[in-house]
Amino acid sequence: MKIVATFKRVPTTEAQAKVGGDGKTLDPAGWQYMASFYDEIAVEAALQTKEKHGGDVTVLTLGPSEASKEVREFLARGADSGVILKDADPAARDPRWTAKALAAKVQALGADVVFTGRVATDRDNAAVGPMLATYLGWACVTEVVALEISGAAGTAQRETEHGVETVAFSLPAVITCNKGLNEPRRPNLKGIMAAKSKPIAEESPSDAGAQAVVLSVELPPARKAGRIVGEGLAGVPALVDALKNEAKIL
Amino acid sequence: MSTILVFVEQSHGAPRRASLECLSAARATGLSVAAVVAGEGAEQAAAGLGAFGATRVVALTGAARWSADAVASDVAAVARELGAKAFLASATSTGKDIAPRVAALLDSTLLSDCTALTAEGGTLVATRPWLAGKALAKVTSTAPVFCATTRPNVFPAAESGGTAEVVSRPASNGGRASVSAVAEKSGGKLDVKEAPIVVSGGRGLRGPENFHLLEELAAAFGSAATGASRAVVDAGWRPHAEQVGQTGKTVSPKLYVAVGISGAIQHLAGMRTSKVIVAINKDADAPIFKIADFGLVGDALEVLPALTKAVAAARAR
């Protein structure tokens, strides 16, 4: 089986937001980066699928050359090859652009299944997975917490606000992965050594152009300073009073 | 007048509140609002949508099973037929499953999880959070159809008192993926994203066995959901579906109560847009107090039972 896992290089969750000089981007000074949290789960799902069904895993990202650090990490965990669709200006992308660039490469790779995170933790669109599937004309199950593939079909479970859905799908498919699907492994020494000789290709992405236009970006308004209403059990009546008479909630 | 098409979710014939909020957000733009509703109960749900601002409603009926790709292709067909200038859905699990596919079928990008939507100079402009709300971007789209999802609990679900022309049409069958079973949540338990009140717990509860105290407080408030910090989800004390923060859910309830949560930046990002924030923590220097409207310095296990009792008493009066 030809398996692809896509990931996005994003600022770590500790990153602070600071508006850039143009007022339309964030200033990345001081940021550290990582593979988006849910994409780690996607790579693990890809590796487990390979272990169960055979085949090989390509890790695919749209991003800067620096993403080779994360690609190398995933190769050390057991992926076979990496592809970086080099994108000089990640801030300018929108989900349609990303999905189209990934779709072109996924098609060229002849993949049977693509795993990706349910959302990237920088722009929070949660759109690329299902858009990718739609451009490919494939099945897609989003926010998956359990997965079973057998032959050219599979079943997946997704958690929604109203309960757990079981979805039957046919391959080829895009699966967007949610926390709970698996626990991403850490690489071992043998994997780290093996990763050094695995190929990472850098290519130019297809360029659909962005439709989303950022007009401005700002930090959320600071919350009005609150107050400590009290301490311990003695503070409980004051808190309930505040909820009732100030917040008008009770 | 140009049309904005809203995908309305429903459950057993009742439109979901997040979708009514989405309809209201659409109506507030001044565009003519059409709605499309699918699944078992679609016709029943369609009948009530005029009151929330829809002037035309298409009910897609008769599908044997729910299939997101089949629904999306039907919705995109409705959008094309109406010549819709914009398409909206709510940023719920179902909305996030359908909207990107509809957008792709219309070859339009998607602006997700918007917290404001206005018509400015003949175009729509949305505000959407970046980095789970650490920054807010004002964005528009040059796409053929302006496609966006709206965050639940942010827009009011305002009745307009209007009526809609409702048409039913057969839904497509046979998508590439379809729902074969649904295990519905028991007892109408609310999701953190939709609940008007969220009561969240962290390490300060000291163990999974103490979370019943939090559930009892949620029950005392009435329509409240229980949430959790990343630390306690990672520790396996609570399910991931409850996690609030940058790698969980971003919430905007009218009241957020953080119990025994210190307030890591990634947690604050996920709940800072709550209307009122209450923090209970035994560490008076915990960062959570900096964004809380009302803080109580105290031990969660000591304070919770008393607070539950007091809240229940206040509501009973």
The whole-angstrom distance between A4's CA and the closest CA on chain B is: 19
pLDDT tens per residue, range B77-92: 999 999 999 999 999 9
pLDDT tens per residue, range B253-264: 999 999 999 999
Query: In angstroms, what CA-CA distances link A64 with A10, A19, A90, A142, B223?
Result: 11, 21, 8, 26, 46
Task: Please name the helix (run of DSSP H) or strand (run of DSSP E) that holds residue B265, with its range, or none.
Answer: helix B265-271
Of A97, A98, A67, A95, nearest in space to A82 by CA: A67
Of B72, B185, B296, the CB nearest to A230: B296
A211–B141 C-beta distance less than 8 A:
yes
In a 13 Å sphere around the CA of A246, the CA atoms on its Cβ side amount to 16
- Sheet strands side by side (includes B224-228): A227-231, B294-297, B276-281, B255-259, B197-201, B224-228
What does pLDDT average to over chain A? 96
A37–B103 C-beta distance less than 8 A:
no
In a 13 Å sphere around the CA of B32, the CA atoms on its Cβ side amount to 14
Structural domains in chain B, sorted by start? 3-170 (3.40.50.620), 186-316 (3.40.50.1220)
pLDDT tens per residue, range A180-234: 999 999 999 999 999 999 999 999 999 889 999 999 999 998 888 889 999 999 9
- Strand intervals (E) in B26-161: 32-38, 56-61, 86-90, 110-114, 116-120, 123-130, 135-141, 146-150
- Looking at residue B187, its pLDDT comes to 61
Nearest CA in chain B to A119: B247
Averaged pLDDT for residues A55-73? 97
Region for residue B167 given its phi and psi (left: phi exceeds 0; alpha: psi -120 to 50; beta: otherwise): beta
Averaged pLDDT for residues B8-17? 95
Of B138, B246, B311, the CB nearest to A121: B246
Find which of A122, A144, A162 to mutate to test the B interface (most B CBs within 10 Å of its CB). Answer: A162
Nearest CA in chain B to A27: B135
- Looking at residue A146, its pLDDT comes to 97
B247–A239 C-beta distance less than 8 A:
no
Beta bridge partners of A121: none
- Looking at residue B161, its pLDDT comes to 87
The whole-angstrom distance between A21's CA and the closest CA on chain B is: 15
The whole-angstrom distance between B267's CA and the closest CA on chain A is: 9
Residues of chain B neighbouring A123 (CB-CB closer than 8 A): 130
Chain A CB within 8 Å of residue B90 CB: no
Find which of A14, A34, A236, A248 to mutate to test the B interface (most B CBs within 10 Å of its CB). Answer: A236
Q: Is the ipTM of this complex over 0.90?
A: yes
Q: Which of residues 133-152 of B touch A (CB under 8 A)?
A: 133-143
Alpha-carbon distance A54 to A38, whole Å?
23
Chain B CB within 8 Å of residue A228 CB: yes
The domain segmentation of chain A, as residue ranges, is 2-203, 225-250
Alpha-carbon distance B64 to B77, whole Å?
19
Alpha-carbon distance B239 to A97, whole Å?
34
Given this structure, which CATH class describes domain A2-203? alpha beta
Q: Which of residues 114-133 of B touch A (CB under 8 A)?
A: 125, 128-133
pLDDT tens per residue, range B222-279: 989 999 999 999 999 999 899 999 889 999 999 999 999 999 999 999 999 899 999 9
